[in-house]
């Protein structure tokens, strides 16, 4: 699968979001709040972008699964 710029940004945000939530869960330490200030507009924007990246990840996974089904259906004919 070839990745375009949106894919790369989305997956980078997914990895960073995983690390972000991992530090909150494991150490009760919010890196984003420490970096930009608790409840700031920047923190809110970053959280929204991470959420959108998650939705894009779900879309990508579903698209890949549907593509696999289409390919297997054609192969059986």
Contact 10, 53 (CB under 8 A): yes
pLDDT of residue 41: 93
Tell me how long the chain is. Answer: 77
Hey, where are the domains in the chain?
A: 5-72
Of 41, 44, 43, 50, the closest CA to residue 16 belongs to 50
Cα(51)–Cα(14) distance, integer angstroms: 8
**Burial (CB count <10 Å: 0-12, 13-18, 19+), residue 53:** buried
Residue 71 pLDDT greater than 90, yes or no: no
pLDDT in tens, 8-52: 999 999 999 999 999 999 999 999 999 998 889 999 999 999 999
């Amino acid at each position: 699968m070839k990745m375009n710029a949106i894919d790369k940004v989305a997956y980078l945000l997914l990895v960073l979001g995983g690390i972000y939530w991992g530090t909150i869960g494991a150490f009760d330490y919010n890196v984003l709040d420490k970096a930009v200030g608790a409840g700031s507009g920047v923190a809110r924007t970053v959280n929204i972008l991470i959420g959108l990246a998650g939705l894009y990840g779900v879309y990508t996974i579903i698209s890949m699964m549907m593509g696999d089904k289409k390919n297997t259906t054609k192969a059986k004919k």
